[in-house]
Amino acid sequence: MVHPVKKRGRPAEDIWPDGSITKIVFENFLTYGHHVECMPGPNLNVIIGSNGTGKSTIICAICLAMGGSPKLLGRSERFSDYIKHGQDSGSVEITMSDSKKSTPPVIRLEIRRPNSTQYFIDGRKVTLKQLREFVDTYNIQIENPCTFLAQDKVKSFSEQNPQLLLENTERAGRPDLLEMHEELKKNRNGGKELEASCADLERRIGAIRASMTVLEPRVKNFNEREKMHEKVALLEKKESLLVYEEMRKLYDERKKELSKVQQEIAQARAFLQPLQKEIEELKKKVADRIEVLRKLRHTKSGSVQEIDNLKTRLERCEQEVERVRLQYQRSVEEAQQYDSRISNTQQEIRVVEEQLEACSHSNAVDLRPEIKRLQVEYDKLDKKEEEIDQKQEGLQRDERQLKQRFNGLFNAI
């Protein structure tokens, strides 16, 4: 067991930084057997011993108990290989200093075969993630080769490029040093972007100046043209103002004329007011006349139908008159023929009578039948003439009646 060296005049506990290892207890871990304790000092600790005495065992215990991976040691990657040979389990317990706590925190790692691990903080079981978060609160960087370097990983330390070495060195220093470096890199990148942007702006400014040199005469012409446009616009406004003045005068004149006309209208209304009653009466009379006219139009529609009927009847009467006229003409012609036959018969009778007077009695006896025949024929002709006369009188009467009907129809039309 190794005890720390105490400085004169000050207790050792007063000079332990937070996160310092004050005690390590080994149980069946690699070289160490049943129970081994190691108590480092608050300053630089140097472990000296021959090969196989367990110097690397202390480094491996600190790495694994602080949540580091076996890969960082450059040895076996199986936790069970760190158990002492011939044992089924092993453990490492590390006590740390913390000025903010009344009881120093204790971290414990337990390893069991075939390959299981358990982590504890102050006797409370935790996960590997929780353990690493707890270790990070003390700024303990197991994975940083600048703060923790196993002897089998010395080669990998020398293989770091300058940038990675600088970053790991910054991590080993102040916690915010790397953040400041990253911020500086971002600012540098931003500065490069600004430089590129400035160069691009200068190039664009040069192009703009060249364009301005080319456009300056055009701009001058444009400004002159704009001034002319403004002058034209001002003149147009003045013209509009003059037009407005003229229209305002014309408006005043028309307003006066309107006032005069309104007065005349008022006088006319006063004059026409007495006539309003007469106009209303005339409107009433006109309405009555319109009603009468409407009735007459209705009556006219019936009269038109009646006139059409009368026209039809008139046409029939005209046809009847024509038929009677033709019949009358035929009767006249027939009467003329009978008159001629009667005249001829009378002539024959006279001839026969003359012959009777001239002839003898015997001869007279022979002519009697002829005379009788002639007399009978004469009687027939005479009767026929009377019938014709009666028929002519009837036709003349029918003709007069038809003429009267025709005249009546014509008057009705």
Q: Which among 120, 143, 166 is the end of a domain?
A: 143
Question: Which amino acid is it at 298?
Answer: H
Q: How large is the average pLDDT for residues 110-136?
A: 90
pLDDT digit string, tens, across residues 28-68: 998 888 888 999 988 888 888 888 888 888 888 898 998 88
The half-sphere exposure of 123 on its side-chain side, counting CA atoms within 13 A, is 2
For residue 384, pLDDT beyond 50: yes
Q: Which among 143, 169, 204 is the end of a domain?
A: 143
Expressed in angstroms, the distance from the first to the final Cα of the chain is 163
Structure-token pair, residue 282: 């005339």
The kind and range of the H/E element at 184 are: helix 177-358
pLDDT of residue 108: 94
Residues 128 and 67: beta-carbon distance below 8 Å:
yes
Task: Judge whether 357 lies within some domain.
Answer: yes
- Ranked by mean pLDDT, the top range of 158-172, 222-236, 292-306, 315-329 is 222-236
Residues 92 and 65: beta-carbon distance below 8 Å:
yes
Q: State which residues form the domain around 321.
A: 303-412
| CATH code, domain carrying 74 | 3.40.50.300
Confidence class of residue 356 from pLDDT cuts 50, 70 and 90? Answer: low
Task: Judge whether 156 lies within some domain.
Answer: no
Higher pLDDT, 320 or 139: 139
Nearest to 147 by CA among 139, 155, 137, 156: 139
Q: How large is the average pLDDT for residues 103-128?
A: 91
Please list, in sequence order, all residues whose beta carbon lies within 8 angstroms of the beta carbon of residue 98, skipping any fewer than 6 positions away.
18, 19, 104, 105, 138
Nearest to 350 by CA among 358, 361, 362: 358
Confidence class of residue 95 from pLDDT cuts 50, 70 and 90? Answer: very high
Kindly report the pTM of this predicted structure: 0.41
For residue 11, pLDDT beyond 50: no
pLDDT digit string, tens, across residues 182-220: 777 777 777 777 788 888 888 888 888 888 888 888 888
DSSP code of 62?
H
Please list, in sequence order, all residues whose beta carbon lies within 8 angstroms of the beta carbon of residue 318, skipping any fewer than 6 positions away.
406
Helix, strand, coil proportions of the chain in percent (round to 5)?
70, 10, 20
Task: Judge whether 384 lies within some domain.
Answer: yes
Confidence class of residue 24 from pLDDT cuts 50, 70 and 90? Answer: very high
Confidence class of residue 167 from pLDDT cuts 50, 70 and 90? Answer: low
What's the CA gap between 26 and 64, in Å, rounded?
12
Nearest to 59 by CA among 122, 78, 165, 68: 68
pLDDT of residue 109: 92
Structure-token pair, residue 219: 């701009």
Cis peptide before 274 (omega within 30 of 0): no
When the pLDDT of each residue in the chain is averaged and rounded to a whole number, the result is: 76
Task: Judge whether 195 lies within some domain.
Answer: no
Task: Judge whether 80 lies within some domain.
Answer: yes
Confidence class of residue 365 from pLDDT cuts 50, 70 and 90? Answer: very low
Task: Judge whether 387 lies within some domain.
Answer: yes
Q: How large is the average pLDDT for residues 134-147?
A: 80
Q: How large is the average pLDDT for residues 68-88?
A: 85
Structure-token pair, residue 240: 């509009």
Q: How large is the average pLDDT for residues 281-307?
A: 71
Find residue 121's DSSP bridge partners.
107, 124
pLDDT of residue 8: 41
Task: Judge whether 383 lies within some domain.
Answer: yes
Confidence class of residue 90 from pLDDT cuts 50, 70 and 90? Answer: very high
Q: Which among 123, 143, 163 is the end of a domain?
A: 143
Number of domains present in the structure of the chain: 2
Phi, psi of 377 (to 5 degrees): -65, -35
Task: Judge whether 348 lies within some domain.
Answer: yes
Find residue 26's DSSP bridge partners.
36, 92
Residues 29 and 88: beta-carbon distance below 8 Å:
no
pLDDT of residue 92: 93
% of residues, the chain, pLDDT over 70: 67
Structure-token pair, residue 271: 């004059």
Structure-token pair, residue 252: 């005043």
For residue 119, pLDDT beyond 90: yes
What's the CA gap between 130 and 107, in Å, rounded?
12
What's the CA gap between 31 and 248, in Å, rounded?
120
pLDDT digit string, tens, across residues 312-340: 766 776 677 677 667 767 766 766 676 67
Confidence class of residue 126 from pLDDT cuts 50, 70 and 90? Answer: very high
Q: How large is the average pLDDT for residues 373-399?
A: 71
